Amino acid sequence: MTSAPQEPHRVVIVGAGFGGLEAAFGLAGAPVKITLIDRRNHHLFQPLLYQVATASLATSEIAWPIRYLLARTAGGDDAVCQR
């Protein structure tokens, strides 16, 4: 008798801030599928917000698409952005 192939566990991370991204990066290479959920479609590097407010940086220098960042993780196949 053959058993059905086991699907890898799916890890769902809510929030693609510093904590959520670190969790996703830390799981890179683990035999799991990762779903990262955020209400925005981009990660915001909050500590540099004031530099945008003072026109020292462009917004594109402190915010990156979550899907782009998640592509760095082996199992990170899914980014869900909720409104």
Ligand X SMILES: Cc1cc2nc3c(=O)[nH]c(=O)nc-3n(C[C@H](O)[C@H](O)[C@H](O)COP(=O)(O)OP(=O)(O)OC[C@H]3O[C@@H](n4cnc5c(N)ncnc54)[C@H](O)[C@@H]3O)c2cc1C
Contact by Cβ (8 Å): 58, 52: yes
Q: Per CB under 6 A, does 15 bind ligand X?
A: yes
Nearer Cβ to ligand X, position 23 or 30? Answer: 23
Give the integer Cα–Cα distance in Å for 64 and 18. Answer: 12
Cβ(27)–Cβ(69) below 8 Å: no
The answer to whether 38 contacts ligand X (rule: CB under 6 A) is yes
Q: Of these, 12, 46, 59, 77, which contacts ligand X (CB under 6 A)? A: 46
Tokens of 16: 């693609």
17 near ligand X (CB under 6 A): yes
Residues within the interface to ligand X (CB under 6 A): 14-20, 37-40, 46-47, 49-50, 82
